[in-house]
Structure 1
Amino acid sequence: MNSAAVIRTVRLVLAFAVAVSFLIPVIWMLFVSVKTEGTPIKTLIDWFLPPYTFINYANVLSKTPMLRWMWNSLFIAVVKTVLTVLFTSLAAFAVSKIRFSYKNAIFLFFIAGLMIPGEATIIPLYAVVKDMDLLDSYMGIILPGIAAPLGVVILKSFFDGVPKEVIESAEMDGCGLFRIYSTIVVPLAKPALASIAIFTFIGSWNNFLWPYLSITSEELFTLPVGIPTLLSNYTVDYVTPMTVNAIASIPVIVTFMIFEKQIVQGISFTGIKG
């Protein structure tokens, strides 16, 4: 076996070991979630042995607002993703392809936005949303999150690669700016738009701080906000917490399995273009 084959084998073994290390907590969570409450656990292997029951899932779904919180998370994530992709692509198109004064200075503002921690804007953002009377509402959660400087920077770098000749040819044929944007630039930028959409959706689904500060009504809770309140009562049993977390994780796991190719391509794309 030559050195190249040895290196390839070592890489595969390391990759498999890392994958297993990430999967073990998920597998453990799923097994614990179907255990009977109060089952004595004496050894590690007891976590994975029968008896199994799905009554835990039925109890959580029927006796808690989990389905409502899951719907809130899904609705907010989808709307925020659509608006973020729309506005970031429009802003990037303007900075990249439209001639106007102080264009470079405006783009520097977008770059500067990447240097400001999100936590530093929480207090002024809360004050603005409160003055707009949007606290404790869907719009109060969604609107502050659609400003995505990173998306503008990534898309601008991609739009800059669209040949000027293509744009000028379209203008000579009578195409307006919006038609050039929608029929030429956006179709060419599908990989970039997909990567931004994926990471925006995941970020919204997992977001805790802003929904926690801006929501007071339990019926508007998202999953990251609702789950800690649901599990706030002290318990020595692992079954109910693991069942709740399994229900919250299943949609994300299914989404990853469906869009695995796009997610991997998005990570590769942002790694190259960013």
Structure 2
Amino acid sequence: MTTVTTSSPARRAESGARPRTADAGTLFNRLCATCLTLFALIWLVPFVWALVTSLRPDGSITQHPTSLFAGGWSLHAYRYAWDNYPIGSWYLNSLVISGLSVVLTVVLCSMAAFALAYLRFRGRTAAMALVTAGLMLPSEALVLPQFIEYRSLHLLGTYWALVLPSAVAPVSVFVFHAFFRGIPRPLIEAARIDGASWWRVYATVAMPICRPAVATVGILTFITSWNAFLWPLLVLNQTKSQTVPVGLASLVSPSNIQYAEVMASSVLGFLPLVAVFLVFQRQIVQGVATTGIR
């Protein structure tokens, strides 16, 4: 007895759709990998060029600017830059300012976001609107009012003039606010039923859970504060009190540009940022994915 098996049209359509879906997924993955490789090369070329230029003599750079190996390589530019410029003081200033900015930003912005997420008070909508408006204002538009304000407070030339403006970042408030809204409401209500105050809920329940958000805000604040140029240039008036970006800009002379020394100083300036990103890149990705930033 012979049994004839026939496949239904739906089954044939399903079997034909699977290879097409797999091919489309493979093509999309290859396209993403190609775009990622191109962007990585675009960002890597200036870094490699600065590194190679810092290792070459000035005469060779002037005569053969496009040749990477003419004149040989040496560490003379790094020794000259470290011995003749207060790079150590610039590093210390940038580290202290960035560290204080991270601490104050995490504390103040997380408290503001917690209040906007859970507390009910008069003016809550207006406060949220002000935070939203802060995202629309460019930092350059606030330079003159901030300068007049800190001059009246006699804070010009101090670390606080650089730390306080960066401690109230609207984007950091939104990061914490998005994360706090993602915490299950019954967890907060259970803590309140047990008699915990809002301060204790914030310190012992909400903040330990939002470690990815803390890491993301802290790292991004550190990088932004380290790279700040315009505001530190206006506020800090002494050479040894300057930060790394401002100090590096002072090395460029229009009459006599020492390319190797400038590039060596630039490499020394952005190496800490590269190290911070390589060490904490997992926390950055995790924090961005968890807080739902688009």
CA distance in 2, matches of 1:123, 1:22: 33
Which of 99, 110, 114 is residue 89 of structure 1 equivalent to? 110
Secondary structure class of the residue paired with 2:195: coil
| 1:202 corresponds to which of 223, 246, 255 | 223
2:35 to 14, 25, 43: 14
Amino acid corresponding to residue 211 of structure 2 in structure 1:
K
Q: C-alpha deviations, 1:218-246, integer Å up to 9, x for none?
A: 11101111111122253355212211111
Distance 1:215 1:25, change over 3 A: same
In structure 2, the residue matched to 1:170 is 191
The percentage of aligned residue pairs carrying the same residue is 32
Which of 59, 68, 87 does residue 38 from structure 1 map onto?
A: 59
Structure 2 residue aligned with 1:63: 84
Alpha-carbon contact 2:90-2:242 (below 8 Å) kept: yes
Deviations 1:194-251 (A, max 9, x none): 2111211111011111111111111110111111112225335521221111111211
Deviations 1:69-111 (A, max 9, x none): 1111111011101100100001111121122222222221211
Q: 2:47 aligns with which of 13, 18, 26?
A: 26
Other-structure match for 2:3: none
Distance 1:236 1:176, change over 3 A: closer
Match of 1:273 in 2: 293
Q: Retained in 1: the 8 A contact 2:179–2:290?
A: no
Higher mean Cα deviation, 2-11 or 251-260?
2-11
Q: SS where residue 58 of structure 2 aligns?
A: coil
* Counterpart-to-counterpart distance in 1, 2:170 and 2:65: 50
Cα separation, 1, equivalents of 2:182 and 2:24: 39
Alignment partners' CA distance in 1, 2:65 and 2:214 = 48
Secondary structure of the 2:253 match is: coil
Q: Structure 2 vs 1, CA of residues 107 and 11 (structure 1 numbering), >3 Å: closer, same or farther? A: closer
Q: How far did residue 29 of structure 1 move?
A: 1.1
Structure 2 distance, partners of 1:62, 1:136, is: 25
CA contact (8 A) 1:195 1:269 kept: no
Shifted more, 240-249 versus 33-42: the winner is: 33-42
Q: Which runs of 5+ in 1 are unaligned?
A: none
Alpha-carbon distance between aligned partners in 2 of 1:234 and 1:116, rounded to the nearest angstrom: 37
Could you tell me how far apart the structure 2 residues matched to 1:236 and 1:226 are?
A: 15
| CA RMSD in angstroms, aligned pairs only | 2.1
What pairs up with 1:135-174 in 2 under 5 angstroms? 135-174=156-195
- Give the one of 120, 123, 135 matched to 1:102: 123
Residue pair 2:91, 2:244 contacting (<8 A) in 1 also: yes
DSSP-derived class of the 2:57 partner: coil
Q: Structure 1 residues 3 and 179, CA, compared in 2 at 3 Å: closer, same or farther?
A: closer
Q: State TM-score, norm by structure 2.
A: 0.85
Offset of residue 135 of structure 1 = 0.4
- Report the Cα distance in structure 2 between the residues aligned to 1:113 and 1:196, rounded to whole angstroms: 17
CA deviations 1:121-157 (Å, max 9, x no partner) are 2111111101111000111111122111121122122
**Secondary structure, in 3 states, of the residue corresponding to 2:178?**
helix
Amino acid of the residue matched to residue 101 of structure 1? R
Structure 1 residue 186: Cα displacement: 0.7
